[in-house]
């Protein structure tokens, strides 16, 4: 149950729920559905991993030339959804997007496993692929190119921060009497409202 004494800061509640999910979810507690919208107004969703969260927002990384990257750059708004089945909870986030700084992107890219760094160079994400061999050939090409030394971050690969304007916490309840608590941002202030299930 979401208590009536829920914190005034939604990030405090989110951090608490994420910590519980990290202790109980068997796979990828940081997995979240990312929804964007295309030029035709059609929404599109896919799973990404949360790589950072603080008062500025929720961060994930991607190829900016991918479908999601292009949609976000053209329409800088997104929705996120966490679903933690083991806890019977979810968190919905809606907000505006912006790129992380080059320094943040460089630091995160450098922390990734070497094969993942090579994969960022090798994959022309979201574009047609003739066959698996074509991808493996690109991986081998970049593995040879960057066989020694530091692998630089591709210019088209960076992070997106979703600055939330609305965060809804949902907790399963008996007989479908679920708890729903919405935080809405007005400037730097958050207001809360409970919703019928």
Tens of pLDDT, residue by residue over 116-166, are 999 999 998 888 888 898 899 999 999 999 999 999 999 999 999 999 999
Instruction: State how far the Cα of 108 lies from the Cα of 68, in Å rounded to an integer.
Output: 19
The residue annotated as part of the active site, out of 176, 180, 185, 194, is: 176
- What do you get for the CA distance between the two ends of the chain, in Å? 13
Assess if residue 81 is contained within a domain.
yes
Joined tokens for residue 11:
């990030």
In a domain, 139, yes or no: no
Into how many domains does the chain fold? 1
Domain range holding 41? 10-113+154-194
Residue 136 maps to a domain: no
Tell which residue, 156, 165, 157, 158, has the closest CA to residue 57.
165
Residue 59 domain flag: yes
- Asked about 194 being catalytic, the answer comes back as no
Q: What is the CATH number of the domain that holds 174?
A: 2.30.110.10
Local confidence band at 98 (pLDDT 50, 70, 90 cut-offs): very high
Is 135 inside a domain boundary? Answer: no
């Amino acid at each position: 149950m979401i208590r009536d004494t829920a914190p005034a800061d939604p990030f405090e509640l989110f951090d608490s729920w994420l910590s519980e999910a990290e202790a109980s979810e068997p796979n990828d507690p940081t997995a979240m559905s990312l929804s964007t919208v295309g030029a035709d107004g059609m929404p599109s969703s896919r799973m990404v991993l949360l790589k950072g969260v603080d008062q500025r927002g929720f961060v994930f990384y991607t190829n900016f030339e991918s479908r999601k990257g292009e949609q976000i750059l053209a329409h800088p708004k997104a929705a996120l959804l966490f679903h933690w089945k083991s806890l019977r909870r979810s968190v919905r986030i809606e907000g505006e997007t912006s790129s992380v700084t080059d320094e943040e992107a460089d630091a995160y890219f450098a922390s990734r496993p070497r094969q993942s760094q090579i994969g960022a160079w090798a994959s022309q994400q979201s574009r047609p692929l003739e066959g698996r061999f074509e991808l493996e050939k690109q991986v081998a090409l970049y593995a040879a190119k960057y066989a020694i030394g530091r692998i630089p971050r591709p210019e088209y690969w960076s992070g997106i921060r979703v600055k939330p304007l609305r965060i809804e916490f949902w907790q399963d309840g008996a007989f479908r009497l679920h708890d729903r608590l919405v935080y809405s941002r007005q400037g730097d202030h958050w207001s809360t409202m409970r919703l019928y299930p």
